[in-house]
Homo-oligomer: A and B are copies of this chain.
Amino acid sequence: MTPDITPIRVAVLGASGYTGAELMRLLVRHPRTSIRVLTGERQAGKPVAEVFPHLMHEDLPRLCRIDEVDWSGIDLVFCALPHGTTQEVIAGLPATLKVVDLSADFRLADVETYAQWYGHAHRAPELQREAVYGLCEINRQGVRGARLVANPGCYPTAAQLPLIPLLLRDLVETDDIIIDAKSGVSGAGRDAKQANLFGEVAEGIHAYGIASHRHAPEIEQGLSLAAGRTVMVNFTPHLMPMTRGILTSIYVRMKPGVTAADLRAALAEQYAGEPFAKVLPEGVAPQTRHVRGSNLCLMNAFADRLPGRAIVLSAIDNLVKGASGQAIQNMNLLYGLDERTGLEVVPLFP
């Protein structure tokens, strides 16, 4: 950062979770930001070094409580709080602050859909109207003029990026989309839960939230918008023994006459020149290990043996493109920076 450029002064709310840590990892090397505030209600008062020793060597403020924050020195807030509590916290912030919210609280445009899936009325419907859905590659223009960005969920990012181009071009049937997703454990957060212990997760895989996962309506919202009609999907997430990564295996029926090559061409056309959304060479399958730590989304389409069907695959790092990386990409958009700023991290392999 050259000294004469004023940095974006940033607060991270909920800095003690994995997405908070990942925001810090990336922001401390972002040339245009300065982390001024970190909050963590239960860890308030502690230095970051105690909560995340891997960040010990960075110069970061201590964690504090949200009610202690002096907002006058802040330009933008990353909100990495749990679902449900976020609406009221954001409603209580000065309206001059820009906000990128990593929770699910502002992702569903329809507050009735929200109420149906989350079991209570939306607590800030006027903010919901203001919120812009921050799937950067698709909604770049919308984000640029926003104040409050709803950062997409991890599964919805991995599912929408390869599907939206196909729906925009009317290449696949809208009533037969099956999304089989496999996620690493970090998506479940850092809270102490028996189900996420090493001994419970290692050496196994299982489906969960079958036909009931809250990311389904978020995916359907984006796909419906792209298709111009209501789209309902099968979304079946699986938990598997890795820390980072989501692979989605999407099974689609193509419109008459469409081929898998057409799907690849559509993806290539949509994402030509994109720094993070990448269509792989023909026949190459995306692997989550090849995006680890990076903001990349790899994707590809393959012909099925079943006539008229195709297989679309995508891979992201759930904590980066599926959360904190995309949040920073949204910040870059909000401030007119190159979207790549601070995000050109090469994947860590092996």
Binding site for B on A (CB under 8 A): 18, 21, 25, 28-29, 49, 52-58, 175-176, 178, 180, 182, 184-186, 190-194, 196-208, 210-211, 216, 232-236, 238, 240-245, 247, 249, 251, 278, 280-281, 284-293, 296, 302-306, 309, 311, 313, 315, 344, 346-350
Contact = CB atoms under 8 A, between A and B. Distances in A.
B238 A202 contact: no
B208 A243 contact: no
Given A205-B240, A238-B249, 6 more contacts: A53-B287, A58-B346, A190-B200, A204-B287, A210-B302, A211-B311
Contacts of A302: 210-211
A201 B203 contact: no
Contacts of A52: 349
A234 B252 CA distance: 11
A287 B239 CA distance: 10
Each complex incorporates copies of this chain amounting to 4
A290 B50 CA distance: 12
Contacts of A238: 182, 247, 249
A190 B53 CA distance: 25
A235 to B, nearest CB: 8
A57 to B, nearest CB: 6
A212 to B, nearest CB: 8
A185 B199 CA distance: 7
Contacts of A192: 192-194, 197
Contacts of A344: 29
Contacts of A28: 346
A201 B249 CA distance: 18
Nearest to A55: B346
Given A306-B234, A311-B210, A194 B203 contact: no
A190 B197 contact: yes
Contacts of A206: 247, 285-289, 315
A249 B234 contact: no
Contacts of A243: 198-199, 202-203, 350
Contact of A203 (B18, B245, B296): B245
Of A207, A284, A292, most buried by chain B (CB within 10 Å of CB) is: A207
A196 B193 contact: no
A58 B349 CA distance: 14
A42 B131 CA distance: 43
A318 to B, nearest CB: 11
Contacts of A293: 293, 348
A346 B348 CA distance: 12
Contact of A54 (B56, B233, B285, B347): B347
Given A190-B197, A211-B303, A211-B311, A53 B185 contact: no
A350 B311 contact: no
Given A191-B194, A198-B201, A349-B52, A305 B25 contact: no
